Amino acid sequence: MGNELAGKIAVVTGGASGLGSAMVERFVAEGARVVVGDIDAEKGQALAARCGAAALFRVIDAGDPGRLEQLVDLAVQEFGGLHIMCNNAGISGKMHKSILDDDFADFQHVMSVNVLGVMAGTRLAARHMADNGGGSIINLSSVGGVQAGGGVMTYRASKAAVIHFTKSAAIELARYDVRVNCIAPGNIPTDLLAKASGTMSPEKAGRLTRAMRDMMNRDRPLPREGTPEDVAEAAVYFAGDRSRYLTGTVLAVDGGTTAGKPVMRRSTDAADGKP
Ligand SMILES: NC(=O)c1ccc[n+]([C@@H]2O[C@H](COP(=O)([O-])OP(=O)(O)OC[C@H]3O[C@@H](n4cnc5c(N)ncnc54)[C@H](O)[C@@H]3O)[C@@H](O)[C@H]2O)c1
């Protein structure tokens, strides 16, 4: 690891586990100090303990703008500023076979975390950054926000909204040198998929998760799954000065899934040792 974020101060929402914790650990390894917000107190405190003085953790609900404001205030008061805001917290909502079966019972919750959380986090961070020389805001969308498909309609709609909001905010905030970009991950093993199974039995949830993974593996041109570290690498790029001329972009970290269908494997590939 290098020194790419030396002296920078970041907030990461949903940073206690999954992609968020990989980003927090990588930001710290690159010299940043990070305020982490998450609903999971146990994992958040364990992460902060691993990071030492470079990280502070608070229990927050990203769907509550008042609690998000506490993270921004903490970064400014305890670390002295805010240069990077990573609006990462997101939930999948419950998986349905078809929109015909969807009761939209979790609509408000998914939208409040995935859309209001991102919009409020962007606004709060940008208010500070606009008065203090600029900054970088990184919003987490998804391949599900780029590519149409079935199963989690509210999630897909929320992640598409994140992309459109990111571009619009980038345009408005450019005059303050506040850059706003989006990462659209796909098919990275974390707890996100398992959580989509809601109240299903563990056996059924396991079958569903395996079926989803199989489907995503078949849809991905690169013959391997991504890792949380792959997403953290993209986040470091957006957070640091190497991406200073980038705003309003959507970076798919998805093994090529949204580029198009993989080419058919030839029957001789396996014999040649090809994946
Ligand atoms: N893993 C993937 O392949 C993938 C693909 C597309 C998009 N994403 C997006 O990346 C982001 C991170 O996903 P992940 O895979 O790490 O998921 P995850 O479920 O593994 O982790 C999400 C983290 O957010 C926290 N969280 C959930 N609700 C919260 C709330 N209301 N307030 C604060 N924290 C909350 C959880 O406690 C957890 O620590 C999400 O926005 C997700 O939609 C992930």
Bridge partners, residue 138, by sequence: 86, 181
The Å distance, Cα 17 to ligand 1 centre, comes to 8
Beta strands at 33-38 and 135-140: parallel, antiparallel or unpaired: unpaired
| Tally of domains in the chain | 1
Q: Which of 39, 110, 222 to mutate to test the pocket of ligand 1 (most atoms within 8 A of CB)?
A: 39
Is 14 domain-assigned?
yes
Q: Which atom of ligand 1 is nearest to the CA of 112?
A: 31
Is 222 domain-assigned?
no
The Å distance, Cα 195 to ligand 1 centre, comes to 10
155 catalytic residue (yes or no): yes
The Å distance, Cα 225 to ligand 1 centre, comes to 17
Is a pLDDT exceeding 60 seen at residue 273? no
Residues 184, 258: contact at Cβ < 8 Å? yes
Is 204 domain-assigned?
no
Q: 3-state class of 23 per DSSP? A: helix
Q: Edge-to-edge strands of the sheet including 33-38?
A: 55-59, 33-38, 9-13, 84-87, 135-140, 178-185, 250-253
Per-residue confidence (pLDDT) for residue 205, from 0 to 100? 79
81-125 per-position pLDDT tens digit: 999 999 999 999 998 889 999 999 999 999 999 999 999 999 999
Mean local confidence (pLDDT), 122-136: 98
Is 216 domain-assigned?
no
Contacts of 58 (CB under 8 A, 6+ apart): 35, 36, 37, 44, 70, 71, 74
The Å distance, Cα 244 to ligand 1 centre, comes to 26
Residues with CB under 6 A from ligand 1: 13-14, 16-20, 37-40, 60-63, 88-91, 113, 140, 142-143, 185-188, 190-192, 195
Q: Which domain holds residue 130?
A: 9-193+227-252
Is 215 domain-assigned?
no
17-36 per-position pLDDT tens digit: 999 999 999 999 999 999 99
Q: Which of 26, 38, 119, 257 to mutate to test the pocket of ligand 1 (most atoms within 8 A of CB)?
A: 38
Q: Which CATH number goes with the domain that contains 170?
A: 3.40.50.720
Instruction: Report the distance separating Cα 192 and Cα 179, nearest Å.
Output: 27
Q: 3-state class of 85 per DSSP? A: strand
- Token readout for 41 is 């107190």
Is 76 domain-assigned?
yes
- Strand runs (DSSP E) across 60-193, as ranges? 84-87, 135-140, 178-185
Name the nearest CA neighbour of 258 among 216, 225, 229. Answer: 216
